[in-house]
């Protein structure tokens, strides 16, 4: 999961170093930095690891379109935070959650869906993402989610392009159940933008 670590580092960079620009683009206050995110004074460590600061190339609804260079290879991704988040039991603390749709031309990977859920998931558990009336199983590792059946990913992305929102459910290592709702407004345009940019 090398590129998941890359995307996590990029999200950390956006969160800590580009927080004011990202927050204003998202139309809300700056999110509180997570404990696992590098401190601002250590911000140079993230670009050193991934190669370059993520570059916001467009904001479409709740989705930002970004490009970056990871070890000399271009990475393009759409990124959004949840519009609503709930925990059961309520008000359990967690780090910020983000949804990614990433394209890595050097690996011939297009529109890979993943979620950084903001807590350690229950080992061996499965999560789901509900989009357009269909539910897709997600496998879990650490604090990340990926679609379990890769053959369904194209159908999932197509549904995400056409639907109003995506609902992601997970269970933490401590048994807390979470439900995150991501608005999909602007995702289709963000994906078109990164597809265009990643051809270069």
pLDDT at 36: 33
Q: Is the separation of the CB atoms in 194 and 68 below 8 Å? A: no
Q: Where are the domains of the chain?
A: 54-197
pLDDT at 8: 57
The CATH fold assigned to 54-197 is: Immunoglobulin-like (2.60.40)
44 band by pLDDT with thresholds 50, 70 and 90: very low
Q: Is the separation of the CB atoms in 127 and 136 below 8 Å? A: no
pLDDT in tens, 79-137: 999 999 999 999 889 999 999 999 999 889 999 999 999 999 998 888 999 999 999 99
Whole-number percent of the chain with pLDDT over 70: 74
pLDDT in tens, 50-90: 455 789 999 999 999 999 987 888 899 999 999 999 999 99
Report how far residue 122's alpha carbon sits from residue 120's, in angstroms, rounded to the nearest whole number.
Answer: 7
Q: What is the DSSP string of 17-46?
A: TSHHHHHHHHTSPPPPPPTTSPPGGGTTHH
Kindly report the number of other CB atoms within 10 A of residue 177's CB atom. 14
CA 146-188-2 angle, 5° bins:
30
pTM over 0.85: no
Q: E strands of 18-122, at which residues?
A: 55-60, 63-70, 73-80, 84-88, 98-104, 109-116
Query: Which structure tokens are listed for 31?
Result: 């999110």
Report how far residue 149's alpha carbon sits from residue 111's, in angstroms, rounded to the nearest whole number.
Answer: 14
């Amino acid at each position: 999961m090398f590129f998941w670590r890359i995307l996590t580092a990029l999200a950390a960079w956006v969160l800590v170093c580009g927080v004011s620009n990202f927050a204003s683009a998202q139309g809300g206050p700056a999110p509180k930095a997570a404990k696992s995110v590098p401190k601002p004074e250590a911000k140079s460590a993230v670009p050193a690891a991934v190669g370059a600061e993520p570059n916001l190339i467009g904001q479409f609804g709740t989705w930002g379109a970004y490009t970056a260079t990871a070890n000399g290879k271009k990475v393009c991704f759409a990124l959004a935070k949840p519009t609503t988040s709930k925990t059961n039991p309520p008000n359990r603390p967690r780090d910020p959650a983000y949804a990614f749709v990433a394209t890595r031309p050097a690996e011939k990977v297009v529109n890979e869906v993943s979620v950084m859920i903001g807590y350690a998931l229950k080992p061996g558990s499965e999560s789901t993402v509900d989009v357009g009336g269909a539910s897709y199983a997600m496998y879990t590792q650490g604090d990340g989610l990926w679609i379990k059946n890769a053959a369904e990913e194209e159908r999932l992305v197509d549904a995400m392009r056409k639907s109003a929102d995506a609902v992601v459910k997970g269970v933490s290592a401590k048994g807390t159940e979470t439900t995150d709702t991501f608005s999909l407004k602007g995702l289709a345009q963000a994906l078109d933008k990164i597809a265009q940019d990643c051809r270069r």
